[in-house]
Amino acid sequence: MYSIVEYKGLKSGYHCGYCNLEDGKASTGMWAHTMTVQDYQDLIDRGWRRSGMYVYKPAMNRTCCPQYTIRCHILDFKLAKSSKKVLKKMTRFLTKGEGAKGIVEPMESFNEDIGIGHVPSPCTSEVNIDLEKPLKIVSLEEVPTSTEVHEKPQTDSAGDNRDPGEKPTSAEANATTEKLNSIPKPGRGPDPDKPPCRKAKDLRRERKLKKLLQKQQQIGMADVSQHQEATCETPKALFLQHQDPQGNQPKSLEELTSESLSPDAVHQLEYSRFLCQSPLQAENPPDGPDLGYGSFHQQYWLDGKIIAVGVIDILPRGVSSVYLYYDPDYAFLSLGVYSAVREIAFTTELQKTVPNIGHYYMGFYIHSCPKMKYKGQYHPSELLCPETYNWVPIEKCRPKLDQSKYSRLHENPNAEDEDRLQNLNKVLILYRNTKMPYNMYRRRQKRANDEAVVQQYANLVGQTCAERMVLYRN
């Protein structure tokens, strides 16, 4: 199997959907007539990305909004607090029917670069579908730490109908005095001799831990009474043996995503996957995942109605998220975030049988675009250095990107691209229905004047892919 590509070259000076600059965008692209999953995996690790059959790479040092390839380590994945809230919201909606459609969290518009001159085909569906929109998350804990209350003088509810200069009666005076005494006077702040107020969640956590310790102590004492005659262990030793080290641990991603799949739930959410049209050749090797490698649709069915469709590529070293369509009537469920967490959980399941699948590719991270920085909340994540093609933890990248939109992310100034082009003659060419190396193509096509174009292509895809993929020339 070979990848057959047609290089389209560089195009610059067209509209950018991220900053709205009319002539700021620049990228190179190629049309993939067919492509192996291994070649696409290696291309992703060099900053390429596909949109349908079109594969493109931003010209990082020329484009107005540099797009850095981002991936997440699924083995060390830590679920963010905001993502947990989305999962719990979905669970409440499915199990109890809680959540009104009228309360919709805003979802920003989001479109990946779809390549040079490529117009996406219109979507035909019974519902209005849209491209994936990232969730703007509003934390429930973003409340003021202190508030000020300003009291205003208030008149009696019955009104004051006395004539001017008329004195109030003794009963009215007593009532007024009592009312004034009931108004709290400005305080001097917290009493330094008393302990500070504690948050309700800390008190709940303490009560829960106390109950857990009491339960474990009861278990330990019961075991003491059963085994005291047969052993010489002290009650303290037995109590330590029966403590559950996982008793107070947070729920795993698998537990959180499976909570919403109860058969007794009010709403039923189902998933189905099937191959979809793509330049990637489907492969099913014996040591690969059960589904095989290739491009798949993930359908989300709610009570028999399809509400979202995600497109993913299962590759030798990870799962790449392509895009998500969703029914806007269910935007209140934050389907963009929910589908991303589900895809991470799915990648984790694949890794159990295929150890090489260790990453979840999220497309591009644009530090200069607030709508695209949300991808950095999935931890731990790495960005691809645009010059050396090494992966760098995102925490080390942010200070550099704060100073400049485009940055060489690798810390070693002497590091180079290890897969850079070294031998142009080994680049594979498809000419007149025949596959041949570039030096043979030059001999056959004596008037060929495309060396600069072929060299530009090979530099971008790297020596490995240039020797494996076949570049179409007419």
- Among residues 307, 338, 398, 308, the alpha carbon closest in space to that of 82 is found at 338
Residue 397 has pLDDT above 50, yes or no: yes
- CB burial of residue 130 (10 Å; 0-12, 13-18, 19+): middle
Place of tokens 């008037």: 447
Residue 470 parent element (H or E): strand 470-473
Query: DSSP E strands: which ranges in 198-335?
Result: 269-275, 294-302, 305-315, 318-326
pLDDT of amino acid 415: 96
- Among residues 378, 396, 389, the alpha carbon closest in space to that of 74 is found at 378
**352 confidence band (pLDDT: 50, 70, 90):** very high
Distance of CA 25 to the CA centre of its chain: 24
pLDDT of amino acid 277: 73
Q: Report the pLDDT averaged over residues 359-363.
A: 97
Structure tokens at 393: 């933890």
Share of the chain above pLDDT 70, in %: 63
pLDDT digits (tens, 9 = 90+) for 295-341: 999 999 999 899 999 999 999 999 999 989 899 999 999 999 999 99
pLDDT of amino acid 438: 95
pLDDT of amino acid 374: 84
pLDDT of amino acid 124: 33
pLDDT of amino acid 98: 77
pLDDT digits (tens, 9 = 90+) for 54-100: 999 999 999 999 999 999 999 999 988 888 899 999 889 988 887 75
- CB-based contacts of 212: which residues, under 8 Å, 6+ apart? 247, 248
Residue 116 has pLDDT above 80, yes or no: no
Cα–Cα distance measured from residue 357 to residue 312, given in angstroms and rounded to the nearest whole number: 14
Residue 161 has pLDDT above 70, yes or no: no
pLDDT of amino acid 106: 38
SS3 state at 437: strand
pLDDT of amino acid 96: 84
SS3 state at 274: strand
pLDDT of amino acid 135: 25
For the chain, the domains span: 4-72+416-473, 73-136+252-373, 210-247
Judge whether 242 and 216 are in contact, CB under 8 Å.
yes
Residue 183 has pLDDT above 70, yes or no: no
pLDDT of amino acid 449: 85
Judge whether 152 and 350 are in contact, CB under 8 Å.
no
- pTM reported for the whole predicted model: 0.69
Query: 266 vs 339, which has greater pLDDT?
Result: 339
Residue 367 has pLDDT above 80, yes or no: yes
Cα–Cα distance measured from residue 69 to residue 51, given in angstroms and rounded to the nearest whole number: 15
pLDDT of amino acid 53: 92
**119 confidence band (pLDDT: 50, 70, 90):** very low
Judge whether 60 and 47 are in contact, CB under 8 Å.
yes
pLDDT of amino acid 270: 61
pLDDT digits (tens, 9 = 90+) for 208-230: 666 666 665 555 444 434 443 43
pLDDT digits (tens, 9 = 90+) for 27-48: 999 999 999 999 999 999 999 9
Structural Rg of the chain based on CA atoms: 31
Q: What is the number of other CB atoms lying within 10 angstroms of the CB of residue 403?
A: 7
Query: 183 vs 372, which has greater pLDDT?
Result: 372
